[in-house]
Structure 1
Amino acid sequence: MKNIVIIDYGAGNIQSVKFAVERLGHQAVLTDDAATIKKADKVIFPGVGAAGSAMSKLRATGLDRLIPELEQPVLGICLGMQLMCRHSEEGNTSGLGIFDADVLRFPDSVKVPQIGWNRISGLKSDLFDGIRDGEFMYLVHSYYVPDCPEAVAYTSYGIAYASALKKDNFYGVQFHPEKSSTAGAAVLKNFLETVS
């Protein structure tokens, strides 16, 4: 049985992520303990809320230094993915710098936040094995990551943006796999069982 950790830093959707992991037949520990996180086989870094307050919580516990040093597969979800980038326009917030990208606010020409189902396309990672191009995922966000070399999936909402990122052992998805029905469950299953 894999040792799965969900980083608990007081930012949002950890229980729904835990339930999604359990529906796939795995157990997950919710923790902010550095030693427990380091020993995990897989780490999930979720997030809902504002970038500035979330980064403050990470800095208060030293997780801002720990997360970029992790060597096992790490999956950032929604705000978790955005915090793994260099910088966010939300609150003029410095991120963890794992992904070489900045997080921008959607232009005024579109309604924010984007809430609901949208397609992911241009899939380029083992995270998406068995998932068809153009599959629908559930998203809730007002900020986005523009296209960059680390993008492995794209979504269009007024503009095309990166809805998934990968660099080395770090993965990030802008959508919520735990709320994205069977396709989202397949992404989580790939991360937990096949991504290495």
Structure 2
Amino acid sequence: MIDIAVVDYGMGNLRSVSKALEHVAPSVSVSVTSDPDVIAKAGRIVFPGVGAMPDCIHELEARGLREAVIEASKTKPFLGICLGMQALFEFSEEGNVAGLGIMPGKVLRFPNELMVDEKGEKLKVPHIGWNEVHQVQQHPLWTGIPEGSRFYFVHSYYVEAGTPDLVAAFTVYPFPFTSAVARDNVFAVQFHPEKSQAAGLTLLGNFVIWDGKVTQGSCQPEDGTCSF
């Protein structure tokens, strides 16, 4: 059985994600796949994504992956990354399309009229670069990651969760927006852990050893490796 299936729907930095997973857990089997049967049989699912929401939904449907992703999110440890987080929600302003509806909420574009810092200087959209992630709920995937750690972002849209209990972390740009969500066996992040050095590798390592409920094992942030 494949330990981790990285969902390939033609949109995402799949090589970087899979290589990062292999780095933190070299004994784990990682498969980049567009096969619904492989996804159904895998122990854990990573759902990454880079690009536009309409293309994401179209490609998932065209490749027969929509239902496979939805079903996997119900029972398996599941990690969404960037567009893979946004697609979990009900609706996106990007193209005015329906998402997968796995979580309540919507995806909004950073409003131009609010994109000003405390000095009155214009902030760029997309939001690109390193920013602090503030944890607002305890979760096994935060193990070994200090509050306020910096992660790498690239996005023009952000999630507005339908209920506050979904929010696992927020980031300020220039207002607080949801940068991680969690519910049951699903955890998803707006940032790119595979590009976020030690903190990102620690999060991925925590995911590899997470059973969807509790942590099993430990991660060492200084070298990005995990024990089982």
Shorter-chain TM-score above 0.5: yes
Aligned to 1:118: 131
Indicate which of 131, 138, 141 corresponds to 2:152. 138
> What is the CA–CA distance in structure 2 between the aligned matches of 1:39 and 1:21, rounded to whole Å?
18
User: Using a 3 Å threshold, how does the CA distance of structure 1 residues 34 and 2 change in structure 2: closer, same or farther?
Assistant: closer
Aligned to 1:33: 35
Q: Deviations over 1:8-43 (max 9, x none)?
A: 110021111011011112331011111110111111
Aligned partner of 2:190: which letter? Q
Q: CA RMSD in A?
A: 1.4
Offset at residue 64 of structure 1 (A) = 1.4
Alignment of 1:162-177 (within 5 A): 162-177=178-193
Offset at residue 119 of structure 1 (A) = 0.4
Aligned to 1:57: 59
- Kept in 1, the 8 Å contact 2:2–2:38? The answer is no
> What is the CA–CA distance in structure 1 between the aligned matches of 2:211 and 2:188, rounded to whole Å?
13
- Kept in 2, the 8 Å contact 1:123–1:133? The answer is no
- Kept in 2, the 8 Å contact 1:87–1:103? The answer is yes
- Kept in 2, the 8 Å contact 1:21–1:27? The answer is no
Q: Deviations over 1:57-115 (max 9, x none)?
A: 00112221221212111111000000011111001111011111100000103220000
Alignment of 1:1-196 (within 5 A): 3-24=3-24, 25=26, 26-70=28-72, 71-108=75-112, 109-110=114-115, 111-124=124-137, 125-146=139-160, 148-196=164-212
Aligned partner of 1:126: which letter? P
Shifted more, 101-110 versus 133-142: the winner is 101-110
TM-score of the superposition, structure 1-length normalised?
0.95
Structure 1 runs of 4+ with >4 Å offset? none
Offset at residue 195 of structure 1 (A) = 4.2
- Kept in 2, the 8 Å contact 1:126–1:195? The answer is no
Task: Give the structure with higher Rg (CA).
Answer: 2
Identical pairs, percent: 45
SS of aligned partner of 1:190 = helix
> What is the CA–CA distance in structure 1 between the aligned matches of 2:67 and 2:37, rounded to whole Å?
13
User: Using a 3 Å threshold, how does the CA distance of structure 1 residues 177 and 195 change in structure 2: closer, same or farther?
Assistant: farther
Aligned partner of 1:49: which letter? G
Q: Which runs of 5+ in 1 are unaligned?
A: none
- Kept in 2, the 8 Å contact 1:123–1:153? The answer is yes
> What is the CA–CA distance in structure 2 between the aligned matches of 1:30 and 1:15, rounded to whole Å?
8
Aligned residue pairs total 196
Aligned partner of 1:20: which letter? A
Aligned partner of 1:60: which letter? A
